[in-house]
Amino acid sequence: MEQTKKVMLSGIQPSGDLHLGNYLGAIKNWAERAEEFDCYYFMADMHTITVRQDPAALRRRTLEQLAQYIACGLDPERNTLFIQSHIPAHAELGWVLNCYTMFGELSRMTQFKDKSAKHKDNINGGLFTYPALMAADILLYQPDYVPVGEDQKQHCELTRDIAIRFNHIYGDVFKVPEPYIPKAGARVMGLTAPESKMSKSIPEGCVFLMEKPEDIQRKFKRAITDSDTENCVRFDPASKPGVANLMNIYAAVTGKSFAEIEAEFAGQGYGKFKPAVGEAVIETLRPIREEAQKILADKAYLESVYKAGAEKAAYVANKTLRKVYKKVGFVPAR
């Protein structure tokens, strides 16, 4: 008898375009997980509206993100790819879990504090309670593992606390998920601020997956190296963070070691090195961009992917939701 695969789930907000840091740090490794896990990946569009969005841009980015996932190697036949708002159970379970999440727990969420500071004119209820929706996103699918980065550990811990609290009251309803520390991907820093992670919020230092080759090359030519006069390609993150970041990126896209990179550019300086990194990144992203463009042009195919994903996701989610509704005392609709 074939052993059932363990379940893994992850969602990313389509609040901006995917970039090189997303790809090298995470998405590049996701395709391999389908061998070991039953994977669910969703576009977390419901979460994006805690901050005001342009509706047409949100629709475009959601579909572009889905197309880019497929172009990066996430085969829809082997991974369940879906759009969060297509599964009403997310919002329904989100409300129930709101009632089992304590005010103090939500008050301590660092992302609420950060986003409130950035969007002082729009500190809405959703911004405060979205960790309960995030818990619903996860617990609906009874996953064994949830991949977490440093910025999501707090939410994963809260999800576990909510699941344990609910199970303590009503019995064994939710599987309590474990955080999954993924195989280390390349840690990509900003090209203009190498002390911080690459971020879409600083577009001039961020390389996007769908960006034109000439724009990518321009960004690499303008990348920060260091302030010394050495002009030497050497891996020294402490005193040469800009050069170290470029070497990290070059190593990730070419498979070369730091020693090989140092030997390759010995005596050539940054004038040769920076455009070479840019060219290597361009060639790495070219097939992804071209494949994503083909997929986006085939609207019928893209629709078939998210409809099939929603069908499979809804089947699993509704099963959990029915169980929860019964436990809390709701009268069944049928």
| 299 catalytically annotated | no
Answer yes or no: are the C-beta atoms of 118 and 96 closer than 8 Å.
no
Q: What is the DSSP string of 212-263?
A: -HHHHHHHHHT----SSS-------TTT-HHHHHHHHHHHHHH---HHHHHH
Nearest to 191 by CA among 266, 229, 247, 268: 247
Residues paired with 9 in a beta bridge: 40
Q: Given 5, 6, 175, 197, which residue is catalytic?
A: 197
Q: What is the DSSP string of 32-49?
A: HHTTTEEEEEEE-HHHHT
| 175 catalytically annotated | no
Q: Given 115, 175, 256, 327, which residue is catalytic?
A: 115
Nearest to 326 by CA among 163, 144, 95, 96: 96
Tokens for 212, please give them: 């034109």
| 6 catalytically annotated | no
Q: Given 5, 6, 200, 323, which residue is catalytic?
A: 200
Active-site amino acid positions:
115, 197, 200
